[in-house]
Amino acid sequence: MACLCPCMRPQPEPSGDGPREPTPAPPVVVGEESKLLPKQPHGAPAATGSVRASAMQRGKWLDESDDLARSCFACGVEFGTFVDSRHHCRRCGNTFCAKCSSGRAPLLLFQVTDPARLCDACYPEAQADNEFAARHLPRLTRGTVGQARPSAFAMAAEAVLVRLNTAGDAVLVLNADARPLRTVPLADVTGVDEPAGGATLVVREATEGPFSGGLKIDCGTAKEREGLADALRAAARRARAPDLASAVERDRAKQKLERRRQMSIRDRLASAEERRKSNSKLRDSLRDKYALSSR
Ligand SMILES: [Zn+2]
Ligand SMILES: [Zn+2]
């Protein structure tokens, strides 16, 4: 049975009334975002290159020939008998019946701005992704200008630009010459403190030494501090969560194992039934042979 989705991407979308693959938007480019900064540290050149903002990839598109594509990944209904329509979720890439993939939302982290088909599990996750992409990512990619003390031992604060690296998995603290004073992997961030009063925040790391005191950044205003602190916390939470593509592969392996288990139970039951029927036939033939009455 043909899948209703444009499965063999990147083939062109079939014409007519079929579903359409959402339009990709241009990737976020740090250099362009940086032009929006009110003030760059003296002489700091704008960074360039696309940001893999969340260091995240969509789930691999499940191939039609895969055994898993024969039924809905969520409710298990088999395609082709009573349910004809099979659809791919644009986030996890698994196949679903129409009922289990009724949600639609843009996928801003993956540069998809038109509403895309989503399974019931991915729909709330996509909302959270979009919230991160709209609220925090622009600030993290364009950077925040401030003053930083890389550690408690630093003699003086330096003018810096604090922004996400190109891979999207670490925060860079760049000095006026655009050299990184510090690189903080997001997965290592254990907390972001906002000491009462002032505009300074403190980034705490799992690997920091006992006397480090954390990375101190003066953001200039309390409002800037609040925005950067929220963005760093959200980015750190995402960095610690399992990445989407691997989680999808793990779910598929689990589901394959479960289906094999169900199949072997069905096979055992079927062969037991087969044996019962054959024994019954044998009994009947013996009765006929020896003219015994059946009881
Ligand atoms: Zn379903
Ligand atoms: Zn999904």
Give the closest ligand to the alpha carbon of residue 118. 2
Ligand closest to CA 97:
1
State in Å: Cα 232 to ligand 2 middle.
26
Residue 77 belongs to domain spanning: 33-38+46-139
214 has a pLDDT exceeding 50: yes
Do residues 148 and 135 both lie within one domain?
no
| Ligand that comes closest to the CA of residue 83 | 1
Query: Residue 38 and residue 144: Cα distance in Å, rounded?
Result: 10
Say how many Å lie between the CA of residue 184 and the centre of ligand 2: 31
Residue type, 32: E
Query: From ligand 2's centre to the CA of 243, what distance in Å?
Result: 14
Average pLDDT over the chain, rounded to whole?
80
Q: Which ligand is the nearest neighbour of the Cα of 98?
A: 1
What is the 8-class DSSP label of residue 76?
Answer: -
pTM (two decimals)? 0.70
Ligand 1 ion: residues within 5 Å (CB):
72, 74-75, 97, 100
Residue 203 sits in a domain whose CATH number is 2.30.29.30
In angstroms, the CA 86 to CA 98 distance is 7
pLDDT at 202: 92
Point out the domain boundary residue: 139, 154, 189.
139
Tens digit of each residue's pLDDT (9 = 90 or more) over 60-78: 999 989 999 999 999 999 9
Separation of alpha carbons 180 and 154, rounded Å: 15
Answer with the one of 119, 139, 159 that is the final residue of a domain. 139
Domain identity same for 203 and 221: yes
pLDDT digits (tens, 9 = 90+) for 126-156: 999 999 999 999 999 999 999 998 666 677 8
Sign (positive or negative) of CA dihedral 41, 46, 47, 51: positive
Residues 128 and 190 in one domain: no
